[in-house]
Amino acid sequence: MSVAGHFIWLHKWLLGALALLAVALALALARWLVGPEVIVYPVVRGDLARTVVASGHVETPYRVNIGSQFTGTVDEVLVDEGQTVKRGQPLIVLESSELKSAVVESQGAAAQAEARLRQLREFTLPAAQEALKQAQATLVNAQAAFQRAEQLSKSGFGTRETLDAATRDLDVARTQVRTAELSVYTAQPGGSDYVLATTQFNQAQANVATAKARLGYATITAPRDGVLITRNVERGAIVQPGNALLVLAPAGDVQLVLQIDEKNLGLLRLGQKALVSADAYPDQRFDATLSYINPSVDITRASVEVKLTATAPPAYLRQDMTVSVDIEIDRRVSTLIVPARAVHDPTSASPWVLVVRDGRPREQAVRLGLRTSDRIEVLDGLAKDDLVVPVAAGVRAGQRIRPVAS
């Protein structure tokens, strides 16, 4: 073995360590010359929306309590809780035998009143008219007999008794005419008998309508389309007016009730748009509109109640279901956007970013606009496709880096 070989063999571990050190120094030098790999983010152009996030629950704008209009016994309950019903659909049937009897009785009274009115029209009035004609004819004969008796008395051929008898007959005939005229008048439209008979008939008809209406109340129907969310009645129960037997959530607009932190009150405006998702269906989102802001603050929770209206709610929504809501309070269209993690001192008067220029990060002052939790609008200082370095990268301005797009 040569001297050189012998030397290498004797100092092989030292020489190996020196070789490894040389490689490490070479790699460190190369890293220093070309810089470390750093993840960077491009400046993009797009839409940016700022939202207020809250959770709440679903409810209809109002609920309808359905009850009985009279005291009675439940004969049948035709629906179940949670069932969808249509307007006019029977819900509850009450025992109605007494009400049916009242209808029959009122119809009989109405038939009698109608018969009396028809009798007045078809018999009493024609009979009175005929009696009037006969009385008028008798009056004409009595007047003629009186005139003859009066002439004979004046000429001396008639007696006083004959004239007196003719006078009495004339007075009786006149009285009969007046009586017949009154009978005709009272029996014709506008007369007292006719008005009385008509009034009795109308009252009887009204009693029939009332009895039928009360009979109709024995079948309780849905006042409008909706879903029955509560049922508090069973067959055989005795119900009374004022007690809610069923509770109906009407179909139509769905209302979302939220509690918003009072610090966000100044950001809310009626008509703002919102995106909603139910906790049970997080991927099926739908639109809503802010429709109500409570004028008072709940001091115990430091929150404000707001309501949103969903005009096209999805079919899966249920009463009192929990929902998450993003209320859009501001929006920028086609603006420059950078990640919030890339902005230094974002709340100060002089925010800045590290933007990559010629392979090195450079400090760049920026003017910021709308801010969300993870993105910020840049109004000035950057251009589209500029690359910015996140704050957590830990690099210095001017340091050489190898940018790697995220």
Cβ-proximal residues to 269 (8 Å cutoff; 6+ apart), any chain: 290, 329
CA distances from 254 to 24, 61, 62, 91, 311 (A): 68, 7, 10, 24, 7
Question: In terms of residues, how long is the chain?
Answer: 406
Residue 338, φ and ψ in degrees, nearest 5:
-125, 155
pLDDT at 120 over 90: no
pLDDT above 50: residue 30: no
Pairing of strands 37-42, 402-405: parallel
For the residues 6-10, what does the mean pLDDT come to? Answer: 56
What's the token pair of residue 239? 């119900």
- Rounded Cα distance between 384 and 338, Å, is 10
Kindly list the strands in the beta sheet with 72-77, ordered across the sheet, starting from the edge strand earlier in the chain. 219-221, 90-94, 72-77, 238-239
Cα(276)–Cα(313) distance, integer angstroms: 10
User: DSSP of 320-364, one letter per residue?
Assistant: T-EEEEEEEEEEEEEEEEEEGGGEESTTSSS-EEEEEETTEEEEE
**What is the reported pTM?**
0.54
State how far the alpha carbon of 20 is from the alpha carbons of 7, 25, 27, 35, 206, in Å. Answer: 19, 9, 11, 21, 114
pLDDT per residue over 290-306, tens digit each? 999 998 888 888 899 99
What is the residue type of 24? A
Lowest pLDDT segment from 91-105, 181-195, 390-404: 181-195
Query: Which residue carries 């009154």 as its tokens?
Result: 182
User: How is residue 398 written in tokens?
Assistant: 């001017």
> pLDDT value at position 388?
92
Q: For the segment 320-351, what is each residue's pLDDT rounded down to a tens digit?
A: 889 999 998 888 999 999 999 999 998 898 99
In the predicted model, is pLDDT for residue 372 greater than 80? Answer: yes
Contact 390, 339 (CB under 8 A): yes
Could you tell me if 338 and 50 are in contact, meaning their C-beta atoms sit under 8 angstroms apart?
no
pLDDT given at position 171: 85
Q: Taking Cα atoms as reference points, which of 366, 373, 370, 369 lies closest to residue 388?
A: 366
The helix (run of H) or strand (run of E) holding residue 274 is strand 273-278
List phi, psi (to 5°) of 348: -85, 180
Q: Above pLDDT 90, what percent of the chain? A: 31
* Per-residue confidence (pLDDT) for residue 38, from 0 to 100: 85
Paired with 360 in beta bridges are: 357
pLDDT, tens digit (0-9, with 9 covering 90-100), for 243-293: 899 898 887 778 899 999 988 888 899 999 999 998 888 888 999 999 999
Distance CA 292, CA 289 (A): 9
Query: d(Cα 103, Cα 108) in Å, to the nearest integer?
Result: 9
Q: What is the mean pLDDT of the chain?
A: 85
CB hemisphere CA count around 90 (13 angstroms): 11
pLDDT band, residue 61 (cuts 50/70/90)? confident
60 closest CA partner among 284, 256, 324: 256
Which single residue is written with the structure tokens 């009895």? Answer: 211
Is residue 395 a contact partner of residue 38, using CB atoms and an 8 Å limit? yes
Rounded to 5 degrees, what angle do the CA atoms 25, 30, 35 make? 125
